[in-house]
Amino acid sequence: MPKPFAPAKLRLRSPADLLATVPHMLGFVPADSVVAVCLHGARSRAGLVLRFDLPNPEYAALIAGEICQRVEIAEADGVFIAVFSPETKGDDGRPAHAALVDEIRAGLTVRLHEAVITDGRRWWSYSCPEPCCGGVDGLVIDLGTSGAMSVAAAYALNGRTVLPDRESLVSSVGLELSAEEVLAAEARIAAAIAEVSDLDRACRRTRVRHLALRLMEQCDDPRELPSDPDLAQLAALCTDVVVRDEVLALGPDAGRRERLMPVLHAAVRRVPPPYDAAVCTMFGMLAYADGSGVTAGVALDRALHTDPDYSLAGLISDALSRQVPPSMVEEVIRAAAGDLRHRDTAG
């Protein structure tokens, strides 16, 4: 996953503060997971956040190797490891999943700042068995500390909500139509495609830009959602990749991207296959540029499920797996905007 959104330079003073921040970085509360937070520079600034399902013991070395490799790719100077598990004590008296943490520790080429296990309420250190690090009862994760509250407030102000689990995040990028509504949406989009097919590309580009800007203004009020006919027009126009790029060209600027994403999220929720590849790809691409790697991955997977040959979805999905920084995705969006301007000048 790429570097998460960084709302401000907030100081986290303890492992508990960082544990309270992890769900905001991921967008959901992890469960039965091992999370690695890459740290950079003398002040240990948080960067890439990795999450894996807790493996069976026989796969501990494999998952540990994957984590260490990705930490190295991220060029981290250190790492914080957190295991999220309801079972916090192993049979040998050590914290549970200690073998996995030992494998990670052995494979790292950078400093392991701390490794802890948490049940969501309390935490224990793998490094120190003394009471100061949790002892038998663990140390409380206090969501009321200044660090934890500052992070929660900063993410909330930027519209970043924490969902209860990964399944909820996946559902939030899924289709929310009944079977009857799917049939109606398919008919609307097919009719819209037939309508715009008689327009030349320049006209369709102008139309989609005006439509997107109008819907962005409408969605500035969170109580207002795009209508199904408007979403059908958007999906129909974006079947042409050049017209699609006219919408993407609105996304390099963070302020405009913040206004465009609710429009595309509504489209992802209301546009069914086989017409959803473009809107899912655009939403995933902008989520990636915004640092929401998990959301981006879910949206891109959906696009590729609809159309395995949808080239932009494949390109961005590959970039995500290779940990390409979000800033590079912004550059791709800017390049698309530049290509459109060049096309206009050449025409």
Does the residue 8 lie in any domain? no
Residue closest to 88 by CA, chosen among 129, 124, 35, 52? 124
Residues 97 and 27 grouped into a single domain:
yes
Residue 338 pLDDT class (50, 70, 90 cuts): confident
pLDDT of 238 above 90: yes
Residues 310 and 226 grouped into a single domain:
yes
Residues 139 and 239 grouped into a single domain:
no
pLDDT number for residue 17: 84
User: Which stretch of DSSP H or E encloses residue 5?
Assistant: none
Residues 110 and 207 grouped into a single domain:
no
Dump pLDDT digits (tens) for 7-29: 445 456 678 888 888 898 888 99
DSSP string for residues in 237-282: HTTSHHHHHHHHTT-SSHHHHHHHHHHHHHHHHH--TTS-HHHHHH
pLDDT number for residue 3: 46
Region 230-256 average pLDDT:
93
Of 90-94, 97-101, 131-135, the least confident: 131-135
Number of domains in the chain: 2
Residue closest to 209 by CA, chosen among 340, 345, 343? 340
Does the residue 30 lie in any domain? yes
Specify whether the CB–CB gap between 208 and 249 falls below 8 A: no
pLDDT number for residue 298: 96
pLDDT number for residue 211: 98
Region 73-97 average pLDDT:
91
Does the residue 329 lie in any domain? yes
Q: Give the pairing of strands 45-53 and 78-84.
A: unpaired
Alpha carbon distance 264, 27 (integer Å): 18
Region 189-197 average pLDDT:
97
pLDDT number for residue 148: 66
Alpha carbon distance 311, 267 (integer Å): 20
Alpha carbon distance 298, 163 (integer Å): 14
Residues 97 and 125 grouped into a single domain:
yes
Dump pLDDT digits (tens) for 212-224: 999 999 998 888 9
Residues 127 and 151 grouped into a single domain:
yes
pLDDT number for residue 25: 85
The percent of residues in the chain predicted with pLDDT above 90, rounded, is: 61
Alpha carbon distance 124, 131 (integer Å): 9
> What's the whole-number average pLDDT of the chain?
88
Whichever domain contains 45, its CATH number is: 3.40.140.10
Alpha carbon distance 76, 71 (integer Å): 6
Residues 83 and 223 grouped into a single domain:
no
Last residue of a domain, one of 114, 133, 164: 164
Identify the three-state secondary structure at position 29.
Answer: coil
pLDDT number for residue 344: 66
pLDDT number for residue 77: 94
pLDDT number for residue 333: 83
Last residue of a domain, one of 119, 147, 164: 164
Dump pLDDT digits (tens) for 122-140: 999 998 755 455 566 788 8
pLDDT number for residue 228: 97
Residues 193 and 325 grouped into a single domain:
yes
pLDDT number for residue 331: 84
Residue 80 pLDDT class (50, 70, 90 cuts): very high
Residues 212 and 124 grouped into a single domain:
no
Residues 127 and 181 grouped into a single domain:
no
- pTM value is 0.83
Does the residue 5 lie in any domain? no
pLDDT number for residue 7: 45
Does the residue 4 lie in any domain? no
Does the residue 269 lie in any domain? yes
Does the residue 277 lie in any domain? yes
Whichever domain contains 269, its CATH number is: 1.25.40
Domain that holds residue 320: 173-346
Does the residue 116 lie in any domain? yes
> CA torsion sign, 264 to 270 to 271 to 277?
positive
Residues 100 and 24 grouped into a single domain:
yes
The gap from C-alpha 235 to its chain's centroid, in whole angstroms, comes to 23
Residues 138 and 188 grouped into a single domain:
no
Dump pLDDT digits (tens) for 245-289: 999 999 888 888 889 999 999 999 999 999 999 999 999 999 998
Last residue of a domain, one of 135, 164, 193: 164
